[in-house]
Homo-oligomer: A and B are copies of this chain.
């Protein structure tokens, strides 16, 4: 088998059985069974359609607290009655050999509980971003998955998209020389004032937790470094709508090598959806950068192209996770990625609260 502890035998779907089944049907690529926990708009409009197009992943079950949604999904995706779980009987999924992966698509505050329950059920766990409301929760989720010997992945889909991968390569291979400064912004004008994203208990925070983490995550993967110091300011123009969570946050980061970053996230307006990297010998960037589609790249050097065909990021990330399981390889975006972002998020919130720059705790 494999020496890496987190991809050793899982309780539910063992790697051994995965391997043998994959060998049996070489002509048809092995598709792991995914269970979606939470049937909100992301599951409905992005993830489930992506599973229909996936090479190594398929919809095996759903978990919902709304029986009507269960009926709807059974009809739409031809699921058997026993493939619709609710939050009470969810733990029985341990007996469901058809489910290899559990994908947590719940409000942020519920990620921790359901990752722990999925791991306990012996399932590999794929978790939406932000990974949890606190770094402490992230550590517990990582530990739980290690203990259960299941793989834990965080759904940072941009890290599987061709432009972002190329931007990472620009940095690692110093195509434009050493990196110096990153500017990254992501925000949108949020609608319905009653949605869970505006409730602190469910979302853990506002724009920063929801979309700011894309800009933050980009700064980390573009540079390949961790921020060491962060200074942040919060701006609130609508204290009623944003009574519980942050509306707009700007923050600055210093990296150990001297790279600097400026970031902005907001729930107050549309349009900011980009990054720009300034390097020794040139610049490159994306805009739009982080949405489900429309990725557009540019470079300061006409001889360095930066354009790729559109792709379904959800297909890419889920298949990458399935492939990591099938091949017994580490996943590119493990729980530690989510933890490192939460450590930076916590430094941002601390900086706002304490009115001073804050050191970022090490993972």
Contact = CB atoms under 8 A, between A and B. Distances in A.
Nearest to A238: B258
Contact of A250 (B262, B272, B283): B262
A254 interface: yes
Given A231-B252, A254-B233, A272 B278 contact: yes
Interface in A228-256: 229, 231-233, 235-237, 248, 250-252, 254
Interface in A174-214: 180-181, 183, 185
Contacts of A181: 185, 248, 250, 264, 266, 269, 272
A251 B232 CA distance: 10
Contacts of A61: none
Q: Which of A232, A254, A258 has the most CB of B within 10 A?
A: A258
Nearest to A176: B271
A266 B271 CA distance: 27
A278 B278 CA distance: 20
Interface string A260-284: 1111101011111000001110110
A355 interface: yes
Nearest to A279: B271
Contacts of A280: 269-270
A293 to B, nearest CB: 17
Contacts of A185: 181, 183, 278
B233 A180 contact: no
B282 A271 contact: yes
A295 B282 CA distance: 17
Contacts of A261: 250
A278 B183 CA distance: 14
Count of identical protomers in the assembly: 2
A44 interface: no
A260 B250 CA distance: 7
Interface in A300-319: 300
B248 A233 contact: no
A356 interface: yes
B278 A180 contact: no
Given A258-B235, A262-B263, A180 B283 contact: no
Q: Which of A229, A250, A251 has the most CB of B within 10 A?
A: A250
Q: Which of A232, A266, A271 has the most CB of B within 10 A?
A: A271
A185 B233 CA distance: 19
B278 A300 contact: no
Contacts of A254: 233, 235
A101 to B, nearest CB: 38
A357 interface: yes
B233 A252 contact: yes
Given A272-B278, A280-B269, A355-B356, A233 B250 contact: no
Nearest to A351: B231
Contact of A262 (B183, B355, B356): B183
Contacts of A229: 233
Nearest to A189: B280
A194 B27 CA distance: 70
Interface in A38-54: none
Given A180-B266, A231-B232, 10 more contacts: A180-B272, A181-B185, A181-B250, A232-B252, A235-B254, A248-B260, A250-B252, A271-B282, A271-B283, A355-B356
